[in-house]
């Protein structure tokens, strides 16, 4: 997408596959977070169209590079992007771009982030410190973000105030708990992000 926020008219050439008859606002959002935190799972749970995944089986060489602490059972990893689409209303459609979590993919991350309006950062209580670098990159890019703590069954559980303190979040940054496998919880996390982003997006002046 060339811009993060656009309002195309009825989809000529789309065959009605992606756009309804009414004008829609298309919003590009990132789903970010460290390696193995559940980004692919969340996009798979949310996307109303068959999601695009670029997962590959992890090799022994990759296992030596990537920190598998807390994710020992992980056998695949995203090597480019995940992509999904979610319609929140007749007027609002979200394009979701999942980004690789490993440091070596940072140049690719910067390309994917171009034109995004905001980011949902997934975190894991077993390794919260891994989220700091991701949040730093997002802040450097000037993007608004919300944090969703993925509630893995075997992960320690903490209340939201303690998590906010541990993640050193700005008071304005939304923080939610969600199971990335659960569509409803994942939708709630995205809605928290969208509300945060739209609350800080200047309204277009119809008469410039």
Q: Is residue 190 part of a domain?
A: yes
**Domain CATH code at residue 165:** 3.40.50.300
Name the average pLDDT for the chain. 79
- 6 CB-side CA count, 13 A: 13
CA distance 189 to 173: 12
CA distance 146 to 135: 10
Q: Is residue 132 part of a domain?
A: yes
State the residue range of the domain holding 39: 23-199
Q: For the whole model, what pTM was predicted?
A: 0.76
pLDDT tens-digit map of 73-118: 544 444 457 899 999 888 889 999 998 765 666 777 778 888 999 9
Query: Rounded to 5 degrees, what are φ and ψ at 163?
Result: -65, -40
pLDDT tens-digit map of 166-193: 999 999 999 999 999 999 999 999 999 9
Q: Is residue 18 part of a domain?
A: no
Strands 144-150 and 175-178: parallel
Residue 149 near residue 61 (C-beta atoms within 8 A): no
How many structural domains is the chain composed of? 1
């Amino acid at each position: 997408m060339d811009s993060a926020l656009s309002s195309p008219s009825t989809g000529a050439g789309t065959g009605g596959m992606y756009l309804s008859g009414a004008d829609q606002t298309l919003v590009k959002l990132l789903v970010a977070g460290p390696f193995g935190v559940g980004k692919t799972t969340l996009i798979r749970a949310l996307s109303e169209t068959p999601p695009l995944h670029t997962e590959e089986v992890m090799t022994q060489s990759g296992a030596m590079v990537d920190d598998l602490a807390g994710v020992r059972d992980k056998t695949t990893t995203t090597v480019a992007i995940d992509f999904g689409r979610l319609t929140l209303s007749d007027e609002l459609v979200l394009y979701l771009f999942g980004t690789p979590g490993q440091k070596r993919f940072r140049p690719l991350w910067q390309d994917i982030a171009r034109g995004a309006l905001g980011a949902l950062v997934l975190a894991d209580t077993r390794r919260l410190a891994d989220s700091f670098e991701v949040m730093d990159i997002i802040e450097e890019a000037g993007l608004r973000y919300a944090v969703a703590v993925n509630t893995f069954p075997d992960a320690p559980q903490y209340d939201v105030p303690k998590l906010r303190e541990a993640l050193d979040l700005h008071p304005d940054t939304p923080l939610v708990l969600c199971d990335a496998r659960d569509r409803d919880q994942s939708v709630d996390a995205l809605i928290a992000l969208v509300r945060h982003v739209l609350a800080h997006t200047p309204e277009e002046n119809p008469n410039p």
